[in-house]
Amino acid sequence: MLEILLVDDEPDILEPIRDLLIDRGQRVTTASDGLEAMACFEGRSFDLLISDIRMPRMDGLTLLRRVQRRAPTTKVILTTAYGTIPQAVEAIQHQAVAYFQKPFDVAAFLRAIDRLAQHGEIEMVGSSPAIATVRQHIERVARSSGSVLIEGDTGTGKELVARLIHASSARRDRRLVAVNCAGLPDGLLEAELFGHERGAFTDAVRRREGRFGWADGGTLLLDEIGEMSLVAQAKLLRVLEEGSFEPLGSNDAVRADVRIVCASNRDLAQLVAQGRFRKDLYYRVRVFHLRVPALTERRGDIPLLLEHFCRKLRSGGELPGFSAAAWDALLAHDYPGNVRELRHVVEHALAYAQGEQIELGDLPAELGAGASGSGPTSEAEVAGSPRSLADAVRDFERDYVERAVAQAGSKTRAAEQLGISRKTLWTKIRDN
């Protein structure tokens, strides 16, 4: 799933493309010109920018150049109704990943989006034993085509685990299609999953392929499957048993080769015991089971995640420093929203920070209120110069590795528990 910023000054073009992308499971923010688009980058990040070239106030090529400076990790696709060869050359020179002339080939456009979604950066950050265990499970599960159930609290990274399983599997060259089962009425969920024919219901003004059809040969992620009604569960079970489905308004069965990966922030076994989830469906989707740990179970990864998000959201330049009070608050917080909350905290801090140092007051109020106020933790901080994030991460990592070695009793066993090689552990001890 991509975070997409779509920019076009013509609503008749903007809205259909937006709907098309949302139908493909992407998250879409829209803007009507380049200046409005740049404002969207304040405190936010996007995986992909899709922009028209000829627009008032700021054209697409100018927007492309500014985005490359402001957010170099954001991929860019340009579209235009007035294409020229020099314009196309300039777009490619400024690292646009694709260039489409209107009216463009919709199938080719969607293939470009799918490639970005499938082959974008997929990274699980952390070296804790808990996250090392998840990596090991992903590697083993990816070898099979059996159904997978991923459970974990909100914000722990269940979708990331699903993407890693798909990217490591034999289906990696086909689509990973996601659908959120929460909040969709039975009829709408059925249409989302299986598609519908024109006229199947009041608003069905055109035929639409469902997520099962899109995922043929690939992987279908059913997010928050625990929110699915018993009626919808029965229909899903039938499809999984028979390997085929009927779009709404059609009597023709359609076959699809799809691997099912389900995610839930609720305990499905408990829902089964309560009669709120079908036992037969539970065993169908739980051939393999992975649990993603809460951030409180992997506190040693917090500094590494902080560094990762700062690099990703800073879009170049030096990493910020942290005052002692800010650093203590970041490490002490319980993060009920888990990794997702930590990312939002970093976005907040970078937006509010003055200069190159993040202070306690730059963090969200709930972190400042829980700060211990323990004061400086290094000679540099006593002198008024905060540690850089890189230094703080290195210090924390050194202490973490040393504690792991002491608890394990040997470097070999510590490396196994941390999910790293013995050589990597030696390197961390030596370099730190």
Q: What pLDDT is attached to residue 243?
A: 87
In this prediction, residues 152-179 reach a mean pLDDT of 89
Residue 149 CA to residue 338 CA, distance in Å, equals: 20
pLDDT range class, residue 375, cuts 50, 70, 90: very low
Q: pTM of the entire structure?
A: 0.66
Q: Which residue has the tokens 């196309």?
A: 88
Other C-beta atoms within 10 Å of 269: how many? 15
In angstroms, the first-to-last Cα distance of the chain is: 37
Residue 252 CA to residue 200 CA, distance in Å, equals: 14
Cβ pair 263, 219 in contact under 8 A: no
pLDDT range class, residue 193, cuts 50, 70, 90: confident
pLDDT range class, residue 224, cuts 50, 70, 90: very high
Q: Which of 29-33, 92-96, 408-412 has the highest mean pLDDT?
A: 29-33
Strand partners, 255: 244
Which CATH architecture is the domain 296-431 placed in? Orthogonal Bundle (1.10)
pLDDT tens figures, 391-413: 666 666 777 777 777 777 777 77
Q: What angle do CA 185, 189, 190 make, to 5 degrees?
A: 120
pLDDT range class, residue 379, cuts 50, 70, 90: very low
Q: Considering the domain 129-291 in this protein, what is its CATH number?
A: 3.40.50.300
Alpha helices in 33-156 (DSSP H): 34-40, 60-70, 85-93, 106-119, 129-141
Whole-angstrom CA distances from 21 to 121, 181, 251 are 20, 18, 28
Residues whose CB is less than 8 angstroms from the CB of residue 234 and which lie 6 or more positions away in sequence, other chains included:
278
Q: Which residue has the tokens 């008749």?
A: 12
One fold for 3-119 and 129-291:
yes
User: What's the CATH fold of domain 3-119?
Assistant: Rossmann fold (3.40.50)
The domains of the chain are located at 3-119, 129-291, 296-431
